[in-house]
Amino acid sequence: MPVTPEQQAEIDALRSAPRQTLRAVSEGMESHLYTAYPVLDHGFVRVIDYMGDDAAICQAARVSYGKGTKSVQNDEGLIRYLMRHWHSTPFEMCEIKLHVKLPVFVARQWIRHRTANVNEYSARYSILDREFYIPAPEHLAAQSVVNNQGRGEALTGDEAARVLDILKSDANRAYDHYESMISEDGQQGLARELARMNLPANIYTQWYWKVDLHNLFHFLRLRADSHAQYEIRVYAEEICKIVADWVPFAYRAFEDYRMGGETLSAAALDCVRRMLKGETVTQENSGMSAREWRELQEVLG
């Protein structure tokens, strides 16, 4: 249960008290505000605040291009043009602030996206809760045999049972020891900033994360991708749904040009042009390595 009754009461109170503003309002986003969408077994994503909407992207672009932008008749056309031609600054004019609860090993991947603002719960200052990510059986995957950095089918039978048992019992023992080390009951108690070192990487942390739409799209392209680790991908997918309601034109353009698009190298483009002229192109005469050729075949279906 990712949200406590107290948290739910706070969310309900915030959601029941609309106020007046002169700012740009995205109706699609208002319907998501504060709601904690569950992710994994104890995590969540919820929107704390946002700035701007599709119109704000266009407004910023029109400052840049002045009267010239009048030639693009409507907002969606302009947004698609901006996305297609990598004009990123108008997308930076929208901002989102999320509250995320997530396992530490996911947080460690996430934080590598540096162009964002973060306030994380401090285990140096405060005491962490007893909440650990334990994969659902269907996500308890074996190591991939073809890709160092990937996973294969789910484990089954005894092996799956053994792994689940280890993860659960080690997490609980680590937390029991964490509690007993910091306890001030009949002893001094170890400093929190030291005791936390005993906790495993599947413990949950939480943070406020604020990012502009351009950098969020970059995050989503990498983390909602099928090659991303499942445990971060589910967060990215949940955020995708929210963004689709916040800035529908921008999100559709992102889906078409970024998520669904592919970058072809000069060599790959040359092959495609030759194929379209009717030439039979093989790996041997493609000028590409076996690996690149295989990747191109996948792109071309």
Which residues 6+ apart lie within 8 Å of 17 measured at CB? none
Instruction: Please identify which residue in 64, 74, 172, 285 interacts with a second copy, judged by CB under 8 A.
Output: 64
List, in order, residues 6 or more apart from 100 with CB less than 8 Å away.
Answer: 43, 44, 45, 46, 110, 206, 207, 209, 235
The SS3 call for residue 270 is helix
Q: Which of residues 203-222 bind a second copy (CB under 8 A)?
A: 206-208, 210, 212, 222
Q: What is the DSSP letter of 188?
A: -
121 labelled ligand-binding: yes
**Beta carbon of residue 78, minimum distance to a second copy (angstroms, whole number):** 12
Strand pairing report for 204-212 and 117-120: antiparallel
Report the DSSP beta bridge partners of residue 100: 45, 207
User: Rounded to an integer, what distance in angstroms lies between the CA atom of residue 248 and that of residue 76?
Assistant: 9
Instruction: State the distance between the two ends of the chain, measured CA to CA, in whole angstroms.
Output: 42
Q: In this complex, which beta carbon is closest to a second copy, that of residue 162 or of residue 241? A: 162
In angstroms, the CA 138 to CA 295 distance is: 28
* 3-class DSSP state of 136: coil
In this structure, are strands 95-103 and 37-39 parallel, antiparallel, or unpaired? unpaired
The interface with a second copy within residues 250-289 (CB under 8 A) comprises 255-257, 259-269, 272-273, 275-276, 289
| Binding of residue 296 to a second copy (CB under 8 A) | no
Q: How far is the CB of 25 from a second copy (least distance, A)?
A: 5
Residues 104-143 interacting with a second copy (rule: CB under 8 A): 104-105, 108, 111-112, 114-115, 117-122, 124-127, 133, 135, 140-143
Q: Compute the least distance from the CB of residue 130 to a second copy, in Å.
A: 15
Is residue 223 annotated as part of the catalytic site, yes or no?
A: yes
Residue 196, annotated as binding a ligand: yes
Site for a second copy in 228-247 (CB under 8 A): 229
Told to check if 50 binds a second copy by CB under 8 A, we report: yes
Residues in the chain: 301
Contacting residue, 67, 138, 282, 284, with a second copy by CB under 8 A: 67
Judged by DSSP in three states, 210 sits in strand
Cα–Cα distances in angstroms (integers) from residue 137 to residues 109, 159, 164, 169, 208, in the given order: 23, 11, 8, 16, 30
Nearer to a second copy, 239 or 288 (CB): 288
- Please report whether residue 37 would count as binding a second copy according to CB under 8 A: no
Identify the residue among 41, 92, 237, 245 touching a second copy (CB under 8 A). 92
Give the other-Cβ count within 10 Å of 99's Cβ.
Answer: 18
Instruction: Based on the shown chain and the rule CB under 8 A, indicate whether residue 13 belongs to the binding site for a second copy.
Output: no
Q: Judged by CB under 8 A, does residue 192 bind a second copy? A: yes
Active-site residue, selected from the candidate residues 19, 84, 223, 258: 223
**Which residues ranging from 141 to 170 are in contact with a second copy (CB under 8 A)?**
141-144, 148-153, 155, 159, 162-163, 166-167, 170
Binding annotation: 89, 109-114, 120-124, 196, 212-214, 218, 223
List residues with catalytic annotation: 223
Binding annotation for FAD: 89, 112-114, 120, 212-214, 218
Binding annotation for dUMP: 109-112, 120-124, 196, 223
